[in-house]
Chains A and B, each alone.
Chain A
Amino acid sequence: MSEIKLIFTGPAGAGKTTAIAAISEIPPVRTDVDATDDLLAVKEQTTAALDFGEITLDDGSKVRLYGTPGQSRFAHMWPILVQGGLGLVILLDNTRPSPVEDLAEYLDGFADFIAETGAVIGLTRADHPGGTTIDELHHYLEQRGEHHPVLTADVREEADVLMLLNVLLSLLETR
């Protein structure tokens, strides 16, 4: 049976682990995954952190919740991690220097997967002074010719995580 997956991505500290923990039946497991960086010809193996959680459906099947390593140097892993996935949650941290640039990175890195499935974008710490606004993120999406839901979310709140997933799953249902 192929794996059922929902993928969470975003920069470190955006709230991937917290979001998974909000709905996972098991405490999120952080797994170090071996990763090599061919471009830098690194001789030593480097590791990437991967968060893992799961929920059980009424027939006993499991839905795996994966939080990808967010750093761009692990972007070569992203297409492998999302194989067979249902959809993508992109979490952006509004305290970072440029959430718009972060968004660009994830939209580019997961472009094929998003085109096949769907994505929802959650802006965390949205009230951070001087941060990016929802309007600015939408404006950027319009420049790219893309049309994704962008929502303010506090992933410490289970209701907000469920809202993000409700939006993603509704998108997947109606495509």
Chain B
Amino acid sequence: MTNTSVTIAFLDLQPRDRKLFESFLGILEGRSHKQLRIAQPGEPVDVLIVDSDARPDPSTSDVAGARMVVFYGAGATAHGERQLALAKPVRFWELQALLAATDQGDAPLRTASDGPAHGPCRLHRLLQDVDHTRPLLIGFDQWQVVTDPARGNFYFPEWLEELTPLCQADEDRLSLRPATEAEVRAAASSLRTGPLVRLWWEAAFVGSQGTLPAGIAPDTPVFLKRWPDLGVLGYRSFYAPLCAMIARRALPPTEIAERTGMDHRDVAAFLSASAFCGYLQTAAAPAAPAAAAHPAPASAPQRGLISRIKKRLGLGLPLAN
């Protein structure tokens, strides 16, 4: 059952961390069609976020009544069912996955932060064993998602607009088989339509769990053969600088993370999704992709100006290098 209203409370969070959560929650509320509220005193709490660095061992009374407890800290660990751990700093898509987990009823919780049980997980792993260029019927509990590669579409129930629950689901909740033409037509007429690349991207991004795709090592130079259409993917603002970094030159993942200042797991997830969707190519040696001559490098004052414009527009952090 989908929760349309989620109450959230914080315990001992630093003001900066709380502000980060509230900022992400504001964005998620607009995307997820859920009402996300900070719980008032005495109100039932769906998600209690505990700063485990400040309070490593909360008492039973601290967490009583919360439907889900999230331990948030540098070395956070979960202690049982209905508990999750999140490492600092929280990333947007981790919070997105966490909220999707609130739809899982009383089932044991898992998010992308959990270690994979058997390598890359779930839908992404299943897709690697089938020909996903042919129509597929993906069973997810009692629901169905149908892919239509000929038209570049996939068809899904309305509540699955956020694909995270599907991409995060354990394999025992999923089934995969070829779809008949009749099933594709029926799905096209009765379900919502979305661009197929979005499903593949999200499945690979989430399913990678922060690991690099097969055949790519931390020191393997990679570049984008072409830009992903960020307008149809589940857009995350850090995609733009990552794409820009390897659109004109080949770089290894370690250097991408260093130059962008991003977590290596985010870089790995991005590269996994890029590879799965056919955008990524490895280079035998650092080499520029076939493109027009590069313009002159941006000067330091111009980079400073661009950073200020990005800040003014709320477009995220400047590059580390």
Residues on A facing B (Cβ under 8 Å): 4, 23, 55-59, 63, 86, 115-118, 122-123, 126, 133-134, 138, 142, 145-153, 159-160, 162-163, 165-167, 169-175
Q: Using Cβ atoms and an 8 Å threshold, which residues of chain B touch A149? A: 227, 230, 243, 247
Interface band, chain B: 35 or more
Whether A172 lies near B296 (C-beta < 8 A) is no
**A55 in contact with B229 given A167-B243, A170-B243 (CB within 8 Å):** no
**A171 in contact with B244 given A138-B226, A145-B290, A165-B315 (CB within 8 Å):** yes
Distance, CA A175 to CA B249, complexed state (A): 9
Q: 3 closest Cβ contacts across the A-B interface?
A: A152-B231, A170-B244, A149-B227
Whether B229 lies near A134 (C-beta < 8 A) is yes
B54, CB-defined interface residue at 8 Å: no
Helix, strand, loop or mixed for chain A's interface? mixed
Distance, CA A17 to CA B156, complexed state (A): 35
Task: Produce 1/0 per residue, B308-321, CB < 8 A to A.
Answer: 11111111101100
For A115, the closest partner residue in chain B by CB is B295
Whether A172 lies near B298 (C-beta < 8 A) is yes
B178, CB-defined interface residue at 8 Å: no
**A145 in contact with B240 given A86-B306, A150-B229 (CB within 8 Å):** no
Distance, CA A147 to CA B291, complexed state (A): 6
For B319, the closest partner residue in chain A by CB is A173
**A58 in contact with B241 given A173-B298, A175-B248 (CB within 8 Å):** no
> B289: which of A115, A147, A172, A174 is its contact (CB, 8 Å)?
A147
Distance, CA A100 to CA B195, complexed state (A): 21
Whether A167 lies near B240 (C-beta < 8 A) is yes
Whether A147 lies near B292 (C-beta < 8 A) is yes
B243-299: which have CB < 8 Å to A?
243-245, 247-248, 289-298
Whether A170 lies near B298 (C-beta < 8 A) is no
B235, CB-defined interface residue at 8 Å: yes
B303, CB-defined interface residue at 8 Å: yes
> A23: which of B248, B296, B313 is its contact (CB, 8 Å)?
B313
**A55 in contact with B295 given A152-B229, A173-B303, A173-B318 (CB within 8 Å):** no
Task: Given contact pairs A152-B232, A166-B237, A171-B247, enumerate 13 new A-B contacts (beta carbons under 8 Å).
Answer: A115-B292, A123-B231, A145-B292, A147-B291, A149-B230, A151-B231, A162-B314, A165-B313, A169-B240, A169-B309, A171-B244, A173-B307, A174-B319
Centre residue among A63, A162, A175 by max chain B CB count within 10 A: A175
Distance, CA A55 to CA B305, complexed state (A): 13
Whether B247 lies near A147 (C-beta < 8 A) is yes
